[in-house]
Structure 1
Amino acid sequence: MPICAEPYLEMAQALGCSEDQVIACLQRMAGHGRLSRIGPVFEHRRAGASTLAALAVPAERLQQVAERISQYPEVNHNYAREHHYNLWFVLTGPDRPHLQRILDELQADTGLTPLDLPMLTAYRIDLGFALGDAP
């Protein structure tokens, strides 16, 4: 997305359509589960601290624990996986001690010990793909 005052309008101009059409298309995609979020992705090391965390949650508690985790504004991903560690989430905050306080709170609240996996090295991949007809 362009960084400007009217990103949807700029996208529309690049696509040769109206801003309303861009917004309607994005809403349709979200409605069909093809798009879950539109927003910035920050270089977390420049903005603070981040970690990937996981919990091994008993199946009967998965929904309850997931809802508890999602209450934190610092959580920007929270999803279930088919694994012993079946609930994964990403925490982003101002510094590492802040993240540790949240992990400690979650452990105290749930009785489950988080697996804390801070990123050591970033490996960038191009996730870009054509949205139109292939040439």
Structure 2
Amino acid sequence: MPTQDIIKKILALKPNLTEEAVRELIEKERAKAAGLLTEEAAAHLVSSNLGINGAGERIEAKLKIRDLTPGLSDVSLTGRVIQVFPSRTFERDGKKQGKVLRMILGDKTGSAVLVFWDEKADHVEASKLDPGK
């Protein structure tokens, strides 16, 4: 759904807002994401934050591996599993068990090592990912 259509939907359901105010909210969302959100994705976030249900269309992540920067967390990527390394368990502070699993994910722009901790590592192992697919 184009950004302008999302803005029209917001304005129809929230008549107390102006188009300028909605555009400001969209730009604030983009700034919070350090420019990693498209205008359309930010508009969907604003709509959701205002309690307006989406149009049921899927928002595709447009982040590619080449666009990753240090410090990002909770990032969504689409790619091909190149390799899954065996998980490793360890002790935290001599008390609690932890688990870490690494994998290499690739797309047309490059590859990245992904690190999964504890329950997420268990989930990846249970998924029985098949490298190359």
With the length of structure 2 as denominator, give the TM-score of the two structures: 0.33
Which is strand-richer, 1 or 2?
2
Q: Quick one: higher RCO (CA 8 Å, sep 6+), 1 or 2?
A: 1
**Max Rg structure:** 2
With the length of structure 1 as denominator, give the TM-score of the two structures: 0.32
